[in-house]
Every structure is written in structure tokens, then in C-alpha cells.
Copies of this chain bind each other. A is one copy, B any other.
């Protein structure tokens, strides 16, 4: 992963949200903000902005830049000449509301109590992540996004965004996302939440909470990576041949998991983890197609993905799935492409194959680059044929 800082136009900042910021299920946040990084320059016509929605645990630091040359989580895709070409596009990455990398979340101080929110952070939904990010886009003076792109959780958020803000993004890209989590994904995440949440709610000491976070992360990793990748990389390699009753580990795959889990625990807030994980499971794109019920909330029985898709105002969508994805199985993404297409959204569905499974978008830039580059190029070229953009093209 190259950490070459792109041009100095890149910025990292915090953007204040309207205060109070009202949440989907009734709560509100006072003085909330989101951390935002941008790469490239906004065009004079303000028509080249791409918004990125992240996965559960990512920050707004999607790419390295002069002010923060540490590796970004999508360095391989963002930069001059890359899929999200910063010579052409203005890329906006937002740390999800509820996260812990500069955006307001459970680890933030509640200005009303001057205490960290922790377990008192108000009930939050994927819709609220979309709303907070759109508020940042508004702040940046962007009327219409060229595209909104989301990976994993972001692949849900991008659907929420499209439903909540019709016409505010010309393109919609969902990578390894879903219209709603399936039962196995819910079971997996709810187990992770139980581990972390039961200790948090019991007021357990930090080491115990960290232990639960490590375990939850390991459960997560095993749902992210493909079985074949582990087999290819580690097989049955042992830390020492037929080690005796170890207090430690027997197999190299165990050491690898432990390394990743420890890294995660150092970075991520447990209540953020719990809050965002639960939002993912409760997300239901079909709820946007349901008539509101008497209590003002959507109920699963009313879920209607076809009706929800018909409410969208998107020029062209791109849905990318990975066959080896255990957590967001490719069938769910095929279904997303089909539902969007049948609702009249011009939609391209691309199925990739990678042993990295759900994590493929983080590592397989060779697979994702041509697909994303072509999709964004096509969107931009269409733009040239539109009245407003045509004039700017003539001026060039």
C-alpha cells in the first residue's frame, strides 16, 4: 500500500452538524460533528465530488496526504491516476457518526453532562450516519454529488443516503453491501455485541472489556476473510511442531488473529463498536418502501425493497459483490442489483472473486480499479453532455 501523499489540496477537518442533530428514533445530539477528509479539488462547477461511506471500523483517513502521511485504508484506490482519481475527482471521506475517529460517538463528551456518552449514546441507525455525512456535504457547498460510494456497512449507508436524499448523488456504488443483513450476519454480530456489551453494561474493568473486544474482533475477522485465504496463507503451520500443552498458541493462524485483534482493541471504542454493529443489523432498506405505521416507526412486515427502490433518483448505480464473501453473501448483492434494476434504476452488477472475501475491497485494487474507474468515467462523460457541464467544457 503506497503512502505517497497526494497533492496538498487534501484536507482533514471536523465539520459541525446542525445542533441539535435529531436522530431517527427520537434522540438528539448537541454540538455534534463529523471528521472529514477530502482529496483532490472541488471543480468550479462543483460537479466532481464523490462521497465515501466506510465500513464499521474505518476512519475518514481513506488516503495518505501531506497533513497526515500515515497509510489510509483505501490508499490503493484514491490518488492521482487511481480509480478515485484525485486529478479528476474531489473525494470526501466521512467518519461515521457514532464512530471514534473524530466524529461524535459514544466516546465523545456529552456537552450537557460533560461526561462521555458511553452507554448513554442515543439510539442510532444507519440512516443517521447517512444524514450526518450529507450534512458535511452541505457544509462543503456541494449541491449534487457525482457519486456516493459505500463499502460493507457503507454499502448499506449509501442506500439509506439515496433514499433519504433523492437526487443529491448522481451515482450510487454499493460494494459488498446489502439491503438488510441476513440471519447469519445478525447472529454473528449479535454475538460480538453480546460479548462486548455484557461487560460494558456490567461496568467491567478495562482489561475484561478489551478481552471481549479481542474475541469479538476475531469472530469478525473469521466472517470477513475467505476460508481459502486462511488455508493458503497459514494452512496447518504450527508455531512449533506438536507443541506441548501450550499456555500460548499452537498454530500460526492463531498468532495472526491475535495480532489483528490487539491492533483493533487499541483503536476502537467498545461502545462505538456496539452502537454501529447494532445499527447495521437493524438497517432495512425495504422500510423506505413501507407506509409509516401508527407508532411512526417502520416494521419489518411492511418492508418493501421494490417500493423503496422506486423512491430513488439516481442516474446510474453500480453494485459489486464478491463470491467468497461469507458475511454479505453475493446472493444478497445480486438481489440488490436486481431490485434496483427492476425499479427502473440503470444498474450495473459486477461479481468479483477473491479469497479475501468480504475484505476484498481493501486489498484487491487490481480487481476493483477498472470497474470503479470505468463507472466514474462514464458518469463524468455523461455530465459533459448536460447543459451546465457543457458550458464549462466549452470554457476549458
User: What residues make up the interface of A, taking CB atoms closer than 8 Å to B?
Assistant: 25, 123, 180-184, 186-188, 190-191, 194-195, 198, 201, 211, 215, 218-219, 222, 227, 230-231, 233-238, 241-242, 244-245, 247, 249-251, 253-254, 257, 278, 281-282, 284, 297-301, 326, 329
Contacts and interface: CB of A to CB of B under 8 A. Distances in A.
6 closest A-B pairs by beta carbon, nearest first, are A183-B230, A241-B299, A184-B227, A183-B234, A190-B254, A187-B253
Contact of A218 (B184, B191, B235, B245): B191
Most buried by B among A251, A298, A301: A251
Contact of A235 (B183, B194, B236, B249): B183
A207 to B, nearest CB: 11
B183 A253 contact: yes
20 contacts: A25-B242, A25-B244, A123-B244, A180-B236, A183-B230, A183-B234, A184-B227, A186-B253, A187-B251, A187-B253, A187-B257, A190-B249, A190-B253, A191-B215, A191-B218, A241-B297, A241-B299, A242-B298, A250-B278, A250-B281
Nearest to A184: B227
Contacts of A25: 242, 244
B257 A184 contact: no
Given A215-B215, A242-B298, 19 more contacts: A182-B227, A182-B231, A182-B235, A183-B227, A183-B233, A187-B218, A187-B254, A190-B251, A190-B253, A190-B254, A191-B218, A191-B219, A195-B215, A219-B219, A227-B329, A237-B300, A242-B282, A242-B300, A250-B281
Contacts of A326: 227
Contact of A191 (B181, B233, B237, B257): B257
A102 B47 CA distance: 73
Contact of A222 (B191, B284, B329): B191
Given A245-B123, A250-B281, A281-B250, A222 B183 contact: no
B236 A190 contact: no
B236 A184 contact: no
A183 B253 CA distance: 7
A103 B144 CA distance: 70
Most buried by B among A25, A191, A234, A237: A191
A329 to B, nearest CB: 7
A296 B278 CA distance: 52
A236 B303 CA distance: 11
